[in-house]
């Protein structure tokens, strides 16, 4: 991989979008990467009927997917190595109701073998963002021989 100094912000975002496009589930539900820089991501999802549960809210598993994926991109881009989620927790603070979900994650501590990241997930309704979940996770360097 080219060093950070050699990769333009546009190219970095393009590389992130290629990685997202290689994830079949992300493609299935329509996830979109809106911003990516080392240690930060803005990952979004248009809300459609296929991601809602029976009461009309976005299914908690979909909110959790969005947080998990955002945490992993934030940690992986900060560490600049292949990574996996080692653990994460999520607190749902209100039902996800709206036209779009936005997950913004950032690396808050970066080491050689792991990074700790936080993520806030917002539901957007009528142009207004409302916090619906908060997550924190540990993102670990993928072993060379898993």
Residue 109 is assigned to a structural domain of this protein: yes
Q: What is the pLDDT of residues 62-87, one digit of tens each?
A: 999 999 999 999 999 999 999 999 99
The answer to whether residue 46 sits within a structural domain is yes
55 falls within a domain: yes
In the chain, pLDDT over 90 holds for what percent of residues? Answer: 90
Residue 145 pLDDT level (bands cut at 50, 70, 90): low
The pLDDT value given to residue 5: 56
The share of the chain scoring above pLDDT 70, in percent, equals 95
Span 92-104, average pLDDT: 97
- Answer whether residue 52 is part of any domain: yes
CA distance linking residue 78 with residue 75, whole number of Å = 5
Rg (CA), the chain: 15
Q: What's the whole-number average pLDDT of the chain? A: 94
What 8-state DSSP symbol labels residue 96?
-
The range of the structural domain enclosing residue 48 comes to 4-141
Residue 137: strand pairing partners: 88, 117
146 in a structural domain: no
Residue 45 lies in a domain: yes
What confidence tens digit (pLDDT) does each residue in 131-140 have?
999 999 999 9
Higher pLDDT, 80 or 2: 80
The number of domains in the chain is 1
Per-residue pLDDT at 146: 61
Residue 144's pLDDT is 80
* pLDDT tens-digit series, residues 7-43: 788 999 999 999 999 999 999 999 999 999 999 999 9
Give 1's pLDDT tier (boundaries 50, 70, 90).
Answer: very low
Beta bridge partners of 40: 37, 106
Q: Is residue 23 part of a domain?
A: yes
**DSSP H helices in the chain:** 9-21, 24-29, 60-79
SS3 104: strand
Q: Is residue 75 part of a domain?
A: yes
Query: For 122, phi and psi rounded to 5 degrees?
Result: -115, 140
CATH number of the domain that residue 104 is part of: 3.10.129.10
């Amino acid at each position: 991989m080219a060093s950070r100094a050699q990769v333009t912000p546009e190219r970095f975002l393009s590389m992130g979008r290629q990685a997202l496009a290689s994830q079949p589930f992300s493609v299935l539900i329509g996830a979109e990467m809106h911003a990516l820089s080392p240690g930060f991501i803005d990952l979004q999802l248009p809300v459609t009927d296929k991601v809602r549960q029976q009461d009309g809210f976005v299914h908690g598993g979909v909110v959790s997917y969005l947080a998990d994926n955002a945490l992993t991109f934030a940690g992986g881009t900060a560490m600049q190595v292949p990574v996996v989620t080692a653990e994460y927790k999520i607190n749902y603070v209100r039902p996800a109701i709206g036209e779009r979900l936005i997950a913004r994650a950032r690396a808050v501590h970066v080491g050689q073998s792991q990074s700790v990241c936080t993520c806030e997930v917002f539901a957007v309704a009528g142009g207004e963002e409302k916090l619906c979940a908060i997550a924190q996770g540990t993102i670990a360097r993928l072993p060379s021989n898993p």
